[in-house]
Amino acid sequence: MPEGTVKTGASPGNVMQDTEALQRPVKILEIGMAVGFSASFMCGYLKDGGHLTTIDRYPIMIEAAKENFKKMGVEDKVTMKIGHAENVLAEMNDNFDFIFMDAAKGKYIEFLPHCLRMLRKGGIIVADDVLQDGRVAQKYEEIPRRQRTIHKRMNEFLTEISNDPKLTSAILTIGDGVAVIRKKED
């Protein structure tokens, strides 16, 4: 496990709640909207007038999320961007206080430069499912062939966030692992 690992009995929901509550962000970016559950939850922690931008590419998820945002009464706080996250991120030039990554795990390393570019100093990134059922700690040769690319890329991501002097990071061993990353400087 990378340096700075923290073990806790907290749940992923508590981690998000505690992290967001510290900042009361004005602007949140979510990568991987699915049916809008996490986005709706995070909207509850926005400062007054805050806004959440979320990205997804799957039409069935987008339609379900639209319905859920309406049911939860947060549709006016959410902007949906549709497309492959790496393409959407490359075109964005906004600044965010908090970023939640919960999309294609093998792409986190590709998302990271865009996220760091748009994250304000002192901002937080939470990346979900970083331990890959414990496979990230296994030797590459022990990983089933179909999972080796994700294994390699997730380990690159964890190494990058652990060794970048502009960041502080912790890997929480809850659920399938959560990385909490704070940008110390630009």
pLDDT at residue 9, rounded to an integer: 40
The full set of domain ranges for the chain reads 12-183
pLDDT class of 23 with cuts at 50, 70, 90: low
* For residues 86-95, average pLDDT: 97
pLDDT digit string, tens, across residues 152-163: 898 899 999 999
3-class secondary-structure state, position 44: coil
Helix axes 108-118, 148-163, angle to 10 degrees: 30
Nearest to 166 by CA among 129, 128, 112: 112
Per-residue pLDDT tens digits for 8-22: 444 445 555 555 545
- In this structure, what are the phi and psi dihedrals at residue 40, rounded to the nearest 5 degrees? -60, -40
Q: Decide if pLDDT at 132 tops 60.
A: yes
Mean pLDDT of the chain: 86
Please tell me the predicted confidence (pLDDT) of residue 148: 73
- The third-level CATH classification (topology) of the domain covering 12-183 is Rossmann fold (3.40.50)
**In the β-sheet with 178-183, what is the strand arrangement from edge to edge?**
78-82, 51-56, 27-31, 96-101, 119-128, 178-183, 167-172
Q: What is the pLDDT of residue 13?
A: 55
* Calpha distance 78→15 (Å, rounded): 22
pTM of the model: 0.85
Q: Which of 1, 42, 8, 11 is nearest to 24 (CA)?
A: 42
Instruction: Give residue 174's pLDDT.
Output: 82
H/E segment holding residue 160 = helix 148-163
Say which DSSP state 4 is in.
Answer: T
pLDDT score of 16: 56
- The answer to whether the CB of 170 falls within 8 A of the CB of 5 is yes
